[in-house]
Amino acid sequence: MQKTGGANFPVGGLGGGARLNATWPFGVLVVEAGRVRLRIRLFGVFGRVFGARPLEGTPAEVVEVFPCRGRLGTSGVGLRTAGGERYYFWTGAGTEVLDACRREGFAVSAEVQRM
């Protein structure tokens, strides 16, 4: 399954919990074959400039997938890594994404969390 939406990533090197946000249609989430990938279109440029990196992981590396709400009521899916980093994918198809993650072996929580 591949979906296009918005994305929000932790940014290393800037300190203070900095984040990089990309609005629709620049976020891309792929769930397939026991893996999840979240990236920003043209990520190479953003990654080099801001120190952000795309998320790619297995159920052992992405330990929780959950429904979430943004500050302005935006709905989406959050992903927490084993290292504690949180990534967000903004989409109206959250239920479909959560179901796909569950089928691929990811731990999916029903609890809606806030960004």
CB 101 within 8 A of CB 33: no
pTM of the model: 0.90
In this predicted structure, the answer to whether residue 43 has a pLDDT above a threshold of 60 is no
Question: How buried is residue 8: exposed, middle or buried, by Cβ count under 10 Å (0-12/13-18/19+)?
Answer: buried
pLDDT tens, 2-18? 999 999 988 875 555 78
User: In total, how many domains does the chain have?
Assistant: 1
CATH number at residue 108: 2.30.29.30
pLDDT at position 22, please?
Answer: 84
pLDDT tens, 52-98? 778 999 999 999 999 999 888 889 999 999 999 999 999 999 999 99
CA 101, CA 113: separation in Å to the nearest integer?
17
What's the domain range around 110? 2-114
pLDDT at position 15, please?
Answer: 53
Mean pLDDT of 21-44: 88
pLDDT at position 41, please?
Answer: 79
